């Protein structure tokens, strides 16, 4: 039986993600009618395919293909934890994750949506779990946490193998 997410493969072939130097967001080239971009980062862009709404496809630039493998491995190590998306598979330049409905904490602040204390507790529990798996919970910020039914869900685990603190974080 072919996994449902395989339906997106043809559409994904029409998209090219171009990476840039100096930590600039990627550029997306191409078009596929059934694909919607739902996020852009410095290594990849995230798409939803209309026919498989429960999945997202994180498509990496050619410069970041090694990071694809790293992130796949991190998601595999975190698969027992409810605070992170589920990894379903990989393609040549993408990983397939569960679509996580909700609004980022950043958007909560912009829109005046109250952030329940439970979300902060969930993020702390997620960080503890990450450490218990021998990883380093880096790059957790307001755009990488989703408010989901009063709970917190952490997205983007791409830096969890790096040591040290985030250079942008200040105490």
Q: Which residues are marked as active site? A: 139
Q: How far apart are CA 13 and CA 78, in angstroms?
A: 28
C-alpha distances in angstroms, 154 versus 78, 84, 98, 125, 148? 11, 5, 12, 11, 10
The widest CA-to-CA distance across the chain, in whole angstroms, is 51
Q: How far apart are CA 65 and CA 128, in angstroms?
A: 28
Phi, psi of 153 (to 5 degrees): -130, 125
Buried/exposed 105-141: b ≥16 CB within 10 Å, e otherwise: beebeeeeeebeeebeebbeebbebbeeeebbbbbbe
CA 13 to chain centre: 20
């Amino acid at each position: 039986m072919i996994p449902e997410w395989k339906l997106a493969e043809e559409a994904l072939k029409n998209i090219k993600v171009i990476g840039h130097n100096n930590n600039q967001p990627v550029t997306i080239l191409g078009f596929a009618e059934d694909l919607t971009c739902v996020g852009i980062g410095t290594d990849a862009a995230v798409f939803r395919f209309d026919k498989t709404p429960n999945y997202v496809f994180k498509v990496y630039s050619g410069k970041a293909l090694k990071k694809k493998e790293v992130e796949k491995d991190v998601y595999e190590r975190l698969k027992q934890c409810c605070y992170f998306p589920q990894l379903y598979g990989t393609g040549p330049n993408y990983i397939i994750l569960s679509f996580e409905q909700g609004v980022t904490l950043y958007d909560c602040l912009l829109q005046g949506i109250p952030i329940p204390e439970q979300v902060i507790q969930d993020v702390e529990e997620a960080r503890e779990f990450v450490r218990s798996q021998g990883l380093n919970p880096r790059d957790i910020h307001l755009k990488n946490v989703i408010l989901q039914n009063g709970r917190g869900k952490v997205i983007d685990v791409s830096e969890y193998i790096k040591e040290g603190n985030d250079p942008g974080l200040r105490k």
